Amino acid sequence: MDPRLADLLQQFSLERLEVNLFRGQSRDFGSPQVYGGQVLGQALMAAYATTGTGQTAHSLHAYFLRRGDYEQPIVYQVDRSRDGRSFASRRVIAIQHGEQIFTLAASFQRPESGIEHQVAMPSVPPPEALPDSTHLAAEALARLPERMRRFMAQERPFELRRVEPLDVLQPRKVAPIQHVWLRTVDRLPDDDQLHRCLLAYVSDYNLLATATLPHALRTLDVGMVTASLDHAVWFHRPFRLDDWLLYSMDSPSASGSRGFVRGSIYSRDGRLVASTAQEGLIRVVAEPAAVEAVE
């Protein structure tokens, strides 16, 4: 297996400390804090560890309360809120340095048949027709501020192909819409639970940035403080994350230093497999050097 993906799977092998208590390890994502998608995915994995066989996560709602420290482990405390015949509910609290940094509510369901419909997948070029946009070109990377260059240069366990080109050095004011094909860099085990937890992880990729697109903020001129505030995922249908998925994102509103973004995730054959929503902090700072000082 590709070492980048193997390392990601290692992060999802949580240590059980007690019946409802788990510990997960973090990685340096190139940002000052723990990557939000990591906490989201690990918390869902902890919740899964307390459910019965055959129960599948269908929705989760999370709040990010404090910055996580990637140099220290995170403890996940699971509350078994309800176990019904069809549905089960779990609450998860992520703790670091004695404080809550994150909370999650997740719902699980045993498979059932019923009515079905969905909106059509957007008409976009297939991933094979698009260039790899996982990494910035070396010339562009060298011109970024050190803080952003470190983040953009990190190796990721996912391959990305953008439908709409993105120029971080000379951005244009465009509609708050993004379409990104994504998949893991290598084959994953045949484990639906793992695929759902990893989709929760990657669902934080690029999402909040959609709300900045109409404003053409030049990273060389201004600093930005961005952080996920809350995040929701609804799983609609089974999927494989090691095959191409289309992440379609749009931002209907930004105000009060917050941006709101919605996402729809489609499989190659056009099935809507998941939906997301997120509100996040987007605080513009006149001087890039002042970013670290802003709380």
Catalytic residue among 38, 55, 228, 267: 228
Give 34: exposed, middle or buried? Use CB within 10 Å, 0-12, 13-18, 19+. buried
Residue type, 17: L
| CA 163 to chain CA mean position, Å | 19
Give Cβ neighbours of residue 184 (< 8 Å, ≥ 6 apart).
5, 157, 158, 159, 198, 241, 242
DSSP state of 164: S
What are the C-alpha distances in Å from 209 to residues 62, 148, 214, 254? 19, 14, 10, 11
What is the pLDDT averaged over residues 274-287?
Answer: 89
pLDDT single digits (tens) 189-213: 999 999 999 999 999 998 999 999 9
pLDDT for residue 290: 44
> Across-strand partners of 264?
248, 275
Dist CA 269 CA 121 (whole Å): 9
Dist CA 212 CA 259 (whole Å): 8
pLDDT single digits (tens) 91-148: 999 999 999 999 999 999 999 999 999 999 999 999 999 999 887 666 665 666 666 6
Dist CA 15 CA 74 (whole Å): 10
Could you tell me which residue, 1 or 217, shows the higher pLDDT?
1
291, pLDDT greater than 50: no
Q: Is 253 a catalytic residue?
A: no
pLDDT single digits (tens) 3-16: 999 999 999 999 99
Dist CA 263 CA 277 (whole Å): 6
Catalytic residue among 26, 38, 267, 278: 278
pLDDT for residue 260: 98
Q: Among 66-70, 129-133, 275-279, 286-290, which range has the highest average pLDDT?
A: 275-279
pLDDT single digits (tens) 201-257: 999 998 999 999 999 876 555 577 888 999 999 999 999 999 999 999 999 999 999
Catalytic residue among 96, 204, 248, 264: 204
288, pLDDT greater than 90: no
Could you tell me which residue, 99 or 172, shows the higher pLDDT?
99
Dist CA 232 CA 264 (whole Å): 12
Which sign does the torsion angle of CA 126, 128, 133, 135 carry? Answer: positive
pLDDT for residue 222: 56
Residue type, 228: S
pLDDT for residue 284: 85
Domain residues of the chain, as ranges? 3-110+131-293
- Polymer length of the chain: 295
pLDDT for residue 293: 39
pLDDT for residue 193: 96
Please state, rounded to an integer, the average pLDDT across all residues of the chain: 90
Please give the class, per CATH, of domain 3-110+131-293: mainly beta
153, pLDDT greater than 80: no
Dist CA 230 CA 62 (whole Å): 5
pLDDT for residue 156: 86
pLDDT for residue 150: 60
Q: Is 228 a catalytic residue?
A: yes
pLDDT single digits (tens) 41-95: 999 999 999 998 889 999 999 999 999 999 999 999 999 999 999 999 999 999 9
Closest CA to 261 of 177, 148, 165: 177
269, pLDDT greater than 90: yes
Q: Is 204 a catalytic residue?
A: yes
